[in-house]
Chains A and B, each alone.
Chain A
Amino acid sequence: MTVLTAQPHVGPGDSGQDHRAPVVRLGQLLDLNSIRPLNPAEDTESWSAGGVRIVRGRINGNEVIAYCTDGSRMGGALGAAEADLIIEAIDAAVRHDCPVIGLWHSGGAKLADGVESMDGVGRMFAAMTRASGRVPQISVVLGPAAGAAAYGPALTDLVIMCEAGRLFVTGPDVVRTVTGEQIDMEGLGGTDAHGRRSGVAHVTVGSEAEAYQHARRVVDLLARPGAFDPAAVGTGRNPRELLPDSPKRAYDVRPLVRELVDGDENGGGFEEIQARWAPNMVVGFGRLAGRSIGVLANNPLRKGGCLDSLSAEKAARFVRLCDAFGVPLLVVVDVPGYLPGVGQEWGGVVRRGAKLLHAFAESVVPRVTLVTRKSYGGAYIAMNSRSLGATKVYAWPGAEVAVMGAEAAVNVLHRKALAAAADHERDALRQRLIEEHERQSGGVGRALAMGVVDEVIDPAHTRQRLAEAFASAPANRGRHGNIPL
């Protein structure tokens, strides 16, 4: 990981500079000595004007553009001039077709500038939206980012927060006045609030240095995609050994995902995003055979791996993010179905689940599904089924694709026969019907015959087979923005 670590040329403590000064922060984000003013005509004098610094630089040699609000002056407040600089940076990134990274420490729109500042940040939002889906936009929240400064990051593709980061529309004082709720800034808009409760933050870390490291890693994955080289998958352990012996037992899917993607060397490893929010769906970036991919996986350890309204929404946004930037998708499926419940229905599981169907059906990147154990019902369809356009659908031996599990199916299909049976015979009848049902429609036999599962693969060769499937699919990229679903 050393190659990914920013080397600060001006570290905190050096030359007594304020650690909040943009030159210090940008220096920690970008490659050593790579910073240049965005506009070469700019002199160092005009550089120091305004509460925002915009620069060109490199991350692992890849060209990027970055802006940083100046938390050391007026709390980084955004007036029209500051907003115009951010717009200039974003528009330049689109022209150069390179990622743009924003470092945020700002109290929001500059009060003294009145309507002018509101107009400025509104135009900034519009610029972010114009660039959406065209170049990756990454936000690193390093301090308070309130009001307009909260919606800025929220409009971008990925929000990385360090523990000093605070995001909210209205601060604790206003909250207390209006609703009577007592809460401090951290409780209202800190890393726990946005990493676990709201889902606004994609990555939450402790220090600023860690936040820059994650930003650099994400930029590396998006800006240096690489190519699939199936010869490079190597021989690892059999990933199926990570599943529990009992098919009913839940397990953490993340070790399995880490086994499927490339190891830490050469920029591999698994960069999970939104890890603590809707954790029954795991999403993140990694590389497979050298090529960066997006991974989605049901996590049985959380809610049994059920799809529900939040996890479907989380997955939908990630699918669209990857599609917009041409990142192929690996979908690891072990799903018992959609979570039933009044709360789910009233919480919009139909509306939010529809986003996931739409996202997959719309996406044009290569996307390969691997069913490790089971895939049932509506969740089967939503998890990148053949019907939604999967490039390939593989299953491991013993996997099952069905409308529902055998026991549930028997209870529905044979409800009358079961009710009519004598009490002491009912369990034996149910057991016999389950076995019959499993013989007739268990496994993936019917799915294979229909061609909705392409092949049962040897788990030991999973990485090889996935890499080959991706490598033989034509590269493509969706033409749409990445609305923050």
Chain B
Amino acid sequence: MAEEIRADIVASVGEVVTEVGTSVATGDTLVILESMKMEIPVLTETEGTVTRLVVNKGDVVQEGDLIAVVE
């Protein structure tokens, strides 16, 4: 089943750690967001393969914006 990973806070994308096609385990870091003077890792909640990655370093994401899809 596909898991959509969305931003839970308005933030800028500080770092993209993964890439499309990567196999990930539960709790792996996909990207690191920067907000409230903090670096907040965005983690997977399921294992699978990253099939979509829609943010780039420096992008600004709003709460609820799609970051990646893991299937």
* A interface, CB within 8 angstroms of B: 246, 248-250, 280, 300-306, 336-337, 339, 341, 343, 405, 407-408
Tell me which residues across on chain A come within 8 A of B8, comparing CB atoms: 280, 302-303
Contact partners of A336 in chain B: CB under 8 A: 36-38
Q: With a CB–CB cut-off of 8 A, which chain A residues contact B43? A: 301
B32-68 near A? 1/0 per residue, CB < 8 Å: 0001111111010000000000000000000100000
Q: Which residues of the partner chain B approach A407 to less than 8 Å between Cβ atoms?
A: 37
| Interface pair A248/B63, CB less than 8 Å apart | no
User: Is the pair A408, B37 in contact by a Cβ cutoff of 8 Å?
Assistant: yes
B1-33 interface bits toward A, Cβ cutoff 8 Å, 1 = contact, 0 = none: 000000011100000000000000000000000
Report A25 CB to chain B, min CB distance, Å.
31
Chain A interface helix/strand/loop/mixed: loop
- Complex CA distance for A341 and B10, rounded to whole angstroms: 9
Known: A303-B8, A306-B9, A339-B9. A249 touches B63 (CB 8 A): no
Count of inter-chain pairs, beta carbons less than 8 A: 42
Q: Are B10 and A248 within 8 A (Cβ)?
A: no
B63, A304: Cβ atoms closer than 8 Å: no
**Cα-based distance from A249 to B42 in the complex (angstroms):** 12
Cα-based distance from A303 to B7 in the complex (angstroms): 9
Contact A304 B38 (CB under 8 A): yes
Nearest A residue to B41, CB-CB: A250
Would B36 and A246 count as touching, CB distance under 8 A? no
Write out the residue numbers on chain B whose beta carbons fall within 8 Å of the beta carbon of A408: 37
The CB with the most chain A CB atoms within 10 A, among B8, B36, B40, B63, is that of: B36
Decide: A337 near B63, CB < 8 A? Known: A301-B41, A302-B8: no
**Residue in contact with A405 in the complex, picked from B9, B37, B40, B41, CB distance below 8 Å:** B37
Q: Given the known inter-chain contacts A339-B9, A341-B10, A343-B63, please indicate yes or no for A301 contacting B36, CB distance below 8 A.
A: no
Residue of B nearest to A302 (CB): B8
B41 and A304 within 8 A (CB): no
Asked if residues B40 and A301 are in contact (CB atoms below 8 Å), the reply is yes
Q: Give chain A residues whose Cβ lies under 8 Å from the Cβ of B10.
A: 341
Q: Which residues in B have their C-beta under 8 angstroms from that of A341?
A: 10
Q: CB distance B37 to A300 under 8 Å?
A: no
A304 / chain B contacts, CB cutoff of 8 Å: 9, 35-36, 38, 40
